[in-house]
Copies of this chain bind each other. A is one copy, B any other.
Amino acid sequence: MSTLKETTKTERSALDVFFTPKSVAVIGASRNPTKLGYAVVDNLVKSGYARDHPVYPINPKADRILDLKAYPSVLEVQGKIDLAVIVIPYKYVPDAMRQCGEKGIPAVVVITAGFREAGHEGLEREREIVRIAKEYGIRVIGPNCLGVIDTYTPLNASFAAGTPPRGPMNFMSQSGALGTAVLDMALAGRLGFSKFVSLGNKADVSEIDLLEAWADDPNANVLMAYIEGVPDGQKFIEVARRVSKKKPIVAVKSGVTKAGSRAVSSHTGSLAGSEQAYRAAFKQAGVLRAETMETLFDYSLALAYQPLPPGDRIAIITNAGGPGILATDAIERSGLKIARFENETLKALESYLPDAASAANPVDVLGDAIADRYQFALETVSKDPNVDGILVILTPQAMTDIVGTAEAVADLSDRLEKPVLACFMGEAEVRKGIDILTKRGVPNYPFPERAVEAFRAMSDYRNARARPLPSFEHFDVDQGAVRKVFEKVRGEGRVTIGDFEAREILQAYGLRTPESRLAKDPDEAVRIAGEIGYPVVLKIASPDILHKTDVGGVKVGLASPSDVRDAFDLMVYRAQRYVPGSRIWGCVVQEMTPKGLEVLVGMNRDPQFGPLVTFALGGIYVEVLKDATFRVAPFSREEAQEMLEEIRARALLDGVRGSPPMDKEAIVDALLRIGQLVQDFPEIAELDINPLMVLEKGQGAIAIDMRLVLSSHA
């Protein structure tokens, strides 16, 4: 994926011209209403853009199009052109691009399809466009896209079926078709947008550029994205991390399962697919992940229209018990809390509501409530310092005042600095209430559970935003020692590293390893064992045997010289038998480490995000329960600490059933040092420290064994 140049501060404003151009040319404008070239001009007119700005239809065969003077080429236009929209067949696009360049047009939207998405020749055509753009300094959106809309300019430079209503949400979509569906929902009055961009093939402008450009957009409260893949994972994290401090970013990532299922060899690899990388990256970047398009909108509406809740305590006001229970269930399940009211709140509610009503949360104003009870309950509850957000549920019963209640909810929401979400349930009668809520900025959800999930998303964003930007530690390490090992290994035509070579690497990066030395024969093994002190561990040493235990290549607790001698001979015999032709260097004699908790620290390179570091408990936990967690390096100490809290079996780290608390900081330290190692040496394709033996709190951790694989392209 080629981007024209590094996005810089100056260029960020350069993207503004796509949304607030002073003039627009449509290359391929048409008088035929069935053509896209007509639809684009029509949208420029109907959106109101053409009223205040010059629009130049470019068509060599027409004088006027939709009452606008047409030109044979952009070069014939007298005035300056800020934005060109290209809707001509692909073979004419390069020439048109060049003319744009000659004319000094800074921004081009290429709607035309037939590029990268159409196979090899298409890709060549796309590269040509990029070359031309680079030559003339043009920024390009597309090709193969729907176009660009800004409802505040107003500008509709797309062939969409209409211009959506205004609203404080920006939406970018890699899929144009999904864009059409979203716009169709907006056109029915369900949604409003500030900016809408169909990114198409992303030959130049990508999600990263738009996030950067939209970070300070005064018309948007939330940035929404449908993402199939990002061009540069590390840059995406870096940019989104900053931007998400200013505005919530909500994204759907599609195509997660296929990639996730690719088989890779090591334990870490078998867990770490793209899905894990995206999950980790979004988390590190503060991006809210929506699992479906529906939740994308559910979350974004709440974030766009309502203030963030200061805490997680939700009050429910309802005219029916059933939905109140459903909401309560959902709140408890989501990890939010049912607000506990002050006594004054309860008393006030009791004094106003009928006896049969419930003043405790959920507040049940009863089925015969008209607007006044809702209004009173809303006012009262909103003043309670223990309430961080309010969910208003309405069912259309015989007496229910749907419109009056909707107005009361919206009135309160206008004044309140806490979020109010609504769940007016129904459609025929209830629609008129929902329309009022929607118009007045109170998001309505058809069922309580979805409103609760929106609250949870707001809460997640509040927490993510409150976290400081990460700072990355740098340890004093011996890069040279590692480089020497790699050179030696490469020199021997190998890519896999284990045992004492691995130990040198670990030591160079400050990880504690057990004392251990290579013995070439039984006599040497006995001598070393004597020096280290009994009991010892013996391990077969061979560059060709990766999974030593599988061939009986590890013996622990050897307590005497004869034990060592026997084990040495047996292992060498077995290794030769099970892996015929393997090079056997002898056996490694190793100190018996104190018993601790076995954990795994690993790394795999994700094609989009780079070094993906794993943490898991060893053995069954990682192999059977897949209880592992991931971060893209670099990550901060706080992020490493979070990893430890994310595994299901985390209680084992704190000590359970009489076992002592383990040295969590030593694990964090190992994760950070490995994070640095894999960044310092991009040639490390994968590695596993398994086990890292974690001792009791304050006692550290010992890297017992590591395998490391270098990428075959040195």
Contact = CB atoms under 8 A, between A and B. Distances in A.
A360 interface: no
A588 to B, nearest CB: 21
B322 A178 contact: yes
A425 interface: yes
| A39, A261, A398, A652 — most chain B CB neighbours (10 Å) | A398
B332 A425 contact: no
User: Range of interface residues on chain A?
Assistant: 35 or more
Interface in A363-377: 367
Given A623-B656, A652-B624, A656-B620, A254 B428 contact: no
A606 interface: no
Given A257-B332, A258-B332, A294-B450, A178 B649 contact: no
A228 interface: yes
Contacts of A99: none
Given A254-B329, A429-B161, A180 B649 contact: no
Given A294-B449, A322-B228, A426 B329 contact: no
Interface stretch (A66-74, A168-176, A209-217, A522-530): A168-176
Interface in A71-111: none
Interface string A418-438: 000000011111110000000
Contacts of A395: 177-178, 180-181
A433 to B, nearest CB: 11
Nearest to A651: B624
A356 B39 CA distance: 24
A647 to B, nearest CB: 10
Interface in A617-653: 619-620, 623-625, 648-649, 651-652
A321 interface: yes
Interface string A221-265: 000001010000000000000000000000010111110010000
A261 B429 contact: no
Interface string A301-339: 000000000000000000111110110111011000000
A228 to B, nearest CB: 7
Interface string A646-689: 00110110001110000000000000000000000000000000
Interface stretch (A3-11, A125-133, A184-192, A467-475): A184-192
A177 to B, nearest CB: 3
A266 to B, nearest CB: 16
Contacts of A228: 322, 325
A688 to B, nearest CB: 15
Interface of A: 36, 39, 117-118, 159, 161-162, 173-178, 180-185, 187-188, 190, 226, 228, 252, 254-258, 261, 291-294, 319-323, 325-326, 328-330, 332-333, 356, 367, 395-398, 425-431, 446-450, 549, 619-620, 623-625, 648-649, 651-652, 656-658
Given A188-B428, A619-B657, 15 more contacts: A176-B320, A178-B425, A181-B430, A184-B428, A185-B426, A188-B427, A255-B328, A257-B332, A293-B447, A294-B446, A620-B652, A620-B657, A623-B657, A624-B648, A625-B648
10 contacts: A177-B397, A178-B323, A181-B426, A188-B427, A255-B325, A257-B332, A257-B333, A293-B447, A293-B448, A293-B449
